[in-house]
């Protein structure tokens, strides 16, 4: 009888392929977030660096929309797979949201809005780093470290190039997200 013969190599290949496929939903979720926040950074800092718009107040609705979308994507993943890594991501980004809210309030009360971008990006870099560690995702760890360095160096030493540098970071995240999404597409 042809066609039903058992091939250990084929069985092994299929088993290994499916084992790797299992991690795809979480990786797709990370890719969607990179894409979303990459686009937001590129758009907002891009507009600022080109001098097209003063983005100060515009950040509030854009950030809120981004956070809502991110939590929506997270909730969708949560209905498909419940994993310790997913739970860690939820904890990291929920605490990040609280930290940001507190930071923005304190800096605005103390009339130190000039530090908002720096502190928010510092916290975002730290949250990225933590997420990368929770998922053992080296790309996220590298991204977090890069954001940390770019944010610090350009804010301290090259403030006039801060917005373009962050726009480039957005572009990097956007490209990484697109590449990852392509790789882990359904």
Among 1, 18, 109, 157, binds other proteins (CB under 8 A): 18
Task: Say whether residue 15 binds other proteins (CB under 8 A).
Answer: yes
Among 49, 55, 70, 83, binds other proteins (CB under 8 A): 83
Phi-psi region of 5 (alpha: psi -120 to 50; beta: other; left: phi over 0): beta
Q: What count of residues does the chain have?
A: 186
Spatial CA neighbour of 135 closest among 177, 75, 181, 89 = 89
Nearer to other proteins, 82 or 110 (CB): 82
Task: Say whether residue 25 binds other proteins (CB under 8 A).
Answer: yes
Task: Say whether residue 74 binds other proteins (CB under 8 A).
Answer: no
Question: 177: which 2 tokens?
Answer: 């997200």
Of 11-19, 141-149, 161-169, 171-179, the window that binds other proteins (rule: CB under 8 A) is 11-19
Nearer to other proteins, 25 or 43 (CB): 25
Within its chain, how far is the Cα of 95 from the centroid?
A: 15
Within its chain, how far is the Cα of 103 from the centroid?
A: 20
Nearer to other proteins, 25 or 74 (CB): 25
Report, in Å, the least distance between residue 6 CB and other proteins: 8
Question: 165: which 2 tokens?
Answer: 């540098």
Question: 126: which 2 tokens?
Answer: 């730290």
């Amino acid at each position: 009888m042809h066609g039903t013969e058992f091939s250990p190599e084929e069985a092994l290949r299929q088993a290994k392929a499916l084992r790797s496929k299992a991690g795809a939903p979480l990786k797709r979720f990370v890719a969607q977030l990179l894409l979303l926040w990459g686009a937001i950074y590129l758009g907002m800092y891009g507009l600022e660096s080109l001098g097209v718009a003063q983005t100060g107040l515009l950040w509030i609705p854009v950030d809120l929309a981004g956070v809502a979308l991110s939590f929506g994507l997270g909730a969708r993943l949560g209905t498909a797979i419940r994993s310790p890594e997913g739970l860690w991501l939820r904890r990291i980004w929920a605490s990040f949201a609280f930290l940001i809210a507190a930071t923005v309030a304190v800096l605005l009360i103390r009339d130190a809005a000039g530090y908002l971008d720096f502190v928010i990006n510092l916290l975002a870099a730290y949250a990225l780093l933590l997420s990368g560690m929770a998922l053992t995702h080296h790309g996220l760890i590298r991204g977090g470290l890069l954001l940390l360095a770019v944010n610090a160096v350009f804010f301290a030493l090259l403030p006039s190039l801060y917005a373009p540098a962050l726009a480039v970071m957005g572009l990097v995240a956007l490209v990484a997200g697109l590449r990852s999404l392509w790789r882990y597409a359904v």
